[in-house]
Amino acid sequence: MEFKILAYLKGELNAKERQQVEQWVALSDANQRAFDEIEKIYLSSEISFTNFQPDVDRAWKSVANAIGESKSAGQNILYKVAAVITLIVGLGFIVFQYQNQSEQLIAKTTDGEIRKLELADGSIIWLNENSTFSYSKKMNEDQRVVSLDGQAYFDVAKDSERPFVILGEKATVEVLGTSFDLVSKATYANVNVTSGRVAFGSSSDEEVKVILEKGNQATFNGNKLAKNDSFNDNASSWMTKDFMFKSAPLSQVAETLSEHFNVKIKVDEAIKNCLITSSFEDKELDEILSTFEAIANIKNERNGKTIKLTGPGC
């Protein structure tokens, strides 16, 4: 990050890279202090960073004075290598210090893992599989700033003086106290609001934003932001283990179940538009499929992780 900050100060980063540095700085007071210190050194230094070239021979002489010079050519090379290592280790120590000063914590989940996190401000986060969540240990800055790559359900503690901001690659979410399901990935973002109000918008353009209330959802796909007054009842099924279908086409039901149970469900053309109205609480896939067979004569054939649904039509 030190190298990125230097490049930021020198104006060598593109817009996206500059935004990444600014988002990192906003994550905690410690990050802000680290940035300010590097900026102070950079502005007060007489070194031209553009033309700077490390003087390895000079560094070697400093090391050699401390450990005793050797007249052996082979040892000279070793000492020069030692000098370079000394420089690298020194820089690494600086990086380590800044990382230690930072109060950022990172939570990661793997395949099939769901993790519950309780933040210092009282907010509760459920992190879905294959997701990364970064947050402040103390949550004591003016803004409660976190970042998400993946999917999580947020139950944000209300604090009228400190907005809760979620930074994503594609979209940013800002709330005071609410609950919602958020998917935040490099090219796609989606939010479903279960309570309160949410400001959902572009990470790169502050003017592209919508305000969502309970029962609303919005999607950021490509460069388009779309608000939908409907609500995806199954957006958080990965966490609740419950499903609710209200006159949903079987093809859509199959897609939801496929994603949740990590299988591929194929639907016969004759029944893909059949409407399903049913709810399931913490049921296994076989139980759900058996219910479909009982209520609509929809049969299933399983071959490994592929399931084919067939029936007489609607």
170 and 207 together in one domain: yes
50 and 153 together in one domain: no
The gap from C-alpha 8 to its chain's centroid, in whole angstroms, comes to 23
Residue with the two structure tokens 């759900």: 288
| Secondary structure (DSSP) of 28-88 | -HHHHHHHHHHHHHHHH----TTT----HHHHHHHHHHHH-----HHHHHHHHHHHHHHHH
The gap from C-alpha 24 to its chain's centroid, in whole angstroms, comes to 13
- Residue 241: which region, alpha, beta or left (left: phi > 0; alpha: psi -120 to 50)? left
Q: Of the given ranges (6-15, 39-48, 132-141, 276-285), which has the lowest mean pLDDT?
A: 39-48
108 and 205 together in one domain: yes
135 and 161 together in one domain: yes
CATH number of the domain where residue 259 is located: 3.55.50.30
Model confidence at 28, pLDDT cuts 50, 70, 90, reads: confident
46 and 162 together in one domain: no
Question: Range of 273's domain?
Answer: 241-310
Structural contact between residues 166 and 173, judged by C-beta atoms closer than 8 angstroms: yes
- Rounded to two decimals, what is the model's pTM? 0.63
Q: Look at residue 47 in the predicted model and tell me its pLDDT.
A: 42
The mean per-residue pLDDT over the stretch 38-67 comes to 52
Q: Find residue 165's DSSP bridge partners.
A: 145, 174
Looking at 78, 101, 124, the residue that finishes a domain is: 101
Supply the Cα-derived Rg of the chain in whole angstroms.
27
**Residue 33 maps to a domain:** yes
The residue that leads in pLDDT, 64 or 156, is 156
**Residue 289 maps to a domain:** yes
Q: Look at residue 212 in the predicted model and tell me its pLDDT.
A: 94
Q: Look at residue 151 in the predicted model and tell me its pLDDT.
A: 96
Number of Cβ within a 10 Å radius of residue 226: 11
User: In this model, does residue 49 exceed pLDDT 70?
Assistant: no
User: In this model, does residue 245 exceed pLDDT 90?
Assistant: yes
**Residue 128 maps to a domain:** yes
Instruction: Report the distance separating Cα 25 and Cα 38, nearest Å.
Output: 12
